[in-house]
Amino acid sequence: MQRMDRSLPHRRYNPLTDEWILVSPQRATRPWLGAVEKLAQARRPEYDPACYLCPGNTRANGAVNPPYTGVYVFDNDFPALLETPRAAPGVEESSAQSPILRSQLETGVCRVICFSPRHDLTLAELPVAQIRAVVDAWAAQCEELGARDDIAYIQLFENKGEMMGASNPHPHGQLWATRHIPTEIAKETRGQLNYLLGRRNCDGQPAGLPLLLDYLALERTAGERIIFENAHFVCLVPFWAIWPFETMILPKRHVRRIVELTEPERDALADALKRLTTRYDNLFEVAFPYTMGVHQAPYDGEPHEEWQMHLHFYPPLLRSATVRKFMVGYELLAQPQRDLTPEQAAERLRGLSEARFA
C-alpha cells in the first residue's frame, strides 16, 4: 500500500471519539497579523499575601488555609456542582417534555488541589518527589469519591496560565466528580468498547488488548510521534492530535484507573509529568500554558475492561509564546483543523532539553 504524502492536506481519524480532523501542512508558513498574547508576568514571589491559595491566607469565602507544607485539597468555594440539590419542592430530577427537550439534575463534588505551598512553582519546576505527592493525592481522591454510589465519574484536570482561564497563578488543579458520565468520557468509552468488542474470539467474547494498548504498540514501532518513554509510561503526540503541541501520556500495561497504579508506576508518572512540562517550557522559553486532564474508566460499578487510563495535554500556543491557535470558523462549524503535523510537533518536542530553559 502506497504511503500518503503528509505534506498534502489530509484527514486523520480519532478512534477514541469516532471523529475526524483536517491536517493542512501547507498553511504553516502563512503570515500572521492576528492577535498577539501578552507574555506572562515576571517571576512570582514564593509567597503572596494576596493569594487565596497560599498557606495561612484567607480565601474569598472567609475560610482560612492551614499552614500546609505539601499537597492541599479542599472543597471549591465556588463549585460548578452541588452535592445536595437546592431545588424547590416538587421539582423533578429529570425532565422529558419531549424527545428533544430533556434535562437532568446533576450533582457532584468540586475540589481544588494545590500542588505545593510555593506560589511561584509550576509542575515543570517542582521536584519529582513533590509531583509524586500530587499523583498520590489524585489517587486518594479517586479512591474516596469512587467508592460513593452517587459518583459515576471523576475528572482530574489542571488549567495552567491566564491563556487557559486559570483564575489564580498558584500551582493547582481541580477535581470534578459527577453523578453522570460526561460527554467526552462517554465518547471515549464507546470508542474503546467498540474496538474491544470488534475483536472477538471463537466464543464470541472480546479478545486481544484494549484500543490504546494496540495503538501504543503501533506508535512504539513507528517511533516518529514518540517524545520519550520511561519504565512504565510513554509520552507521544497522538496521530489524531488537534492542538499544535498536543500530547498524551500512556501506561505501558493495562491500567483502567489511576487508583490501580503501582508504587513504581506512580513514580514513573511523576517523572513523565516533570519531563513533559519541562520540554513544554523550553519550547518557547515561557511558562507554557495548557489544559491537562486524566482520563480514566468511570466509577459506575462496571468493570470497563475496554478502558485504558491516559493523560491529555492541550496547549494553545502555535508559533511562539504570544501566538496561539484559535478554534473558530471551520473548526467550530465543521471539524477541527491543524497546520503543523503531529510528526513535526513530536520532532520539535523530542529535540528539547529536559533541563528547564537550558
For residue 307, what pLDDT is reported? Answer: 98
Domain limits for position 229: 44-87+100-350
| Residue that wins the pLDDT comparison between 127 and 317 | 127
Does 147 map to a domain?
Answer: yes
Instruction: Say what angle helices 183-197 and 211-222 make with each other, to 10 degrees.
Output: 80
User: Is pLDDT of 96 > 70?
Assistant: no
- Residue 125 to residue 273: CA distance in whole angstroms: 11
What's the order of all strands across the beta sheet hosting 10-14?
A: 10-14, 19-23, 337-338
For residue 229, what pLDDT is reported? Answer: 98
- Counting residues of the chain whose pLDDT is more than 70, the rounded percentage is 90
The model carries a pTM of: 0.93
Quick: pLDDT tens for 238-271.
999 999 999 999 999 999 999 999 999 999 999 9
Does 74 map to a domain?
Answer: yes
Does 54 map to a domain?
Answer: yes
Residue 189, SS3?
helix
Number of domains the chain is built from? 1
Report the CATH number at residue 65: 3.30.428.10
Residue 133 confidence class, pLDDT cut points 50, 70, 90: very high
Does 27 map to a domain?
Answer: no
- Counting residues of the chain whose pLDDT is more than 90, the rounded percentage is 77
Residue 104, SS3?
strand
Residues in the chain: 358
Does 108 map to a domain?
Answer: yes
For residue 38, what pLDDT is reported? Answer: 63
Does 21 map to a domain?
Answer: no
Residue 1 confidence class, pLDDT cut points 50, 70, 90: very low
User: Is pLDDT of 32 > 60?
Assistant: no
Burial class of residue 7, CB neighbours in 10 A (0-12, 13-18, 19+): exposed
Which residues are annotated as catalytic? 172
Count of other CB atoms within 10 angstroms of residue 89: 4
Quick: pLDDT tens for 208-218.
899 999 999 99
* Least confident piece of the model among 39-48, 69-78, 108-117, 171-180: 39-48
The b/e string for 8-34 (b: 16+ C-beta within 10 A; e otherwise) is eeeebebbbbeeebbbbbeeeeeeeee
Does 5 map to a domain?
Answer: no
For residue 165, what pLDDT is reported? Answer: 83
Does 230 map to a domain?
Answer: yes
Residue 162 confidence class, pLDDT cut points 50, 70, 90: confident
DSSP 43: P
- Average model confidence (pLDDT) across the chain: 91
Residue 327 confidence class, pLDDT cut points 50, 70, 90: confident
- Residue 318 to residue 28: CA distance in whole angstroms: 10
